[in-house]
Homo-oligomer: A and B are copies of this chain.
Amino acid sequence: MTRVTIRTERYTGAMSTETPTVGRPRAFDEETVLDRATEAFWRHGYEGASLSVLTSAMGINRPSLYAAFGNKEQLFQRAFARYHDTQVANARAALDQPTAYASIEAFLRASADGLTDRDHPAGCLSIQGGLACSPENARISEILAAGRAATEAAVEERLSRAAKEGDLPDGMDPGALARFVMALSEGHAVHAASGASREDLHASVDIALRALALRQ
């Protein structure tokens, strides 16, 4: 398995040149159409979002798409990076609480809210995008897995700090707890994708938090 790195900052690669001063100006805003592409991938997955689906969702035609984004895979990488910057970043930011308990609660609550936000498709692009793919698109699965692993690493980092501060129940392993939290969040994503309500997910979070409520 080749290594995949996730671009979490704003994309500023060579392909996306600064607006030239000559020539016909673009009739679309790159971020706007990227958001629409993100939504299409989110809803249908990488393979399920054909170029016809994408272009009609984005409101541009193929040559414009290819000129602006390179190809389908690169468009997806841009979309996924943007998804990270906007959606995933919310949950990660929620980790910044004074205690481990509060951090995990905030993370799970923010996830549950994001997964059921009516402004977007239900669920999570990191999973819907393509947990399983055709052999020739295996790289997409790797990219998504790397994104999830990065989020889990952020949770673990917060919990490792908590362990050092004596802020975790005795014998609780930060890595295992991070995995538990991420797994639950991913399961919530699956549930959200099949129609679970926000309240449903928060009730599940309530139960999960009992696992942390036993102190020392």
Residues of A at the B interface (CB closer than 8 Å) are 1, 42-45, 47-50, 53, 123, 127-135, 137, 141, 145, 148-149, 172-173, 175-177, 179-180, 182-188, 190-191, 193-196, 200-201, 203-204, 206-214
Contacts and interface: CB of A to CB of B under 8 A. Distances in A.
Contact of A190 (B45, B135, B148): B148
Contacts of A176: 200, 203-204, 206-207
A183 B172 contact: no
Query: Which residue among A42, A177, A193, A211 has the maximum number of chain B CB atoms within 10 Å of its CB?
Result: A211
A11 B69 CA distance: 47
Would you call the interface of chain A mostly helix, strand, loop, or mixed?
Answer: helix
Nearest to A145: B194
- Nearest 10 pairs of A and B residues by beta carbon: A183-B187, A187-B187, A48-B134, A45-B132, A145-B194, A176-B203, A128-B132, A186-B187, A210-B211, A211-B211
Contacts of A214: 210, 213-214
Question: Copies per complex?
Answer: 2
A214 B208 CA distance: 12
A141 B133 CA distance: 15
Contacts of A123: 131-132
A134 B47 contact: yes
Contacts of A175: 203
A50 B208 contact: no
Contacts of A211: 207-211
Contacts of A130: 45, 48, 132
A212 B205 CA distance: 13
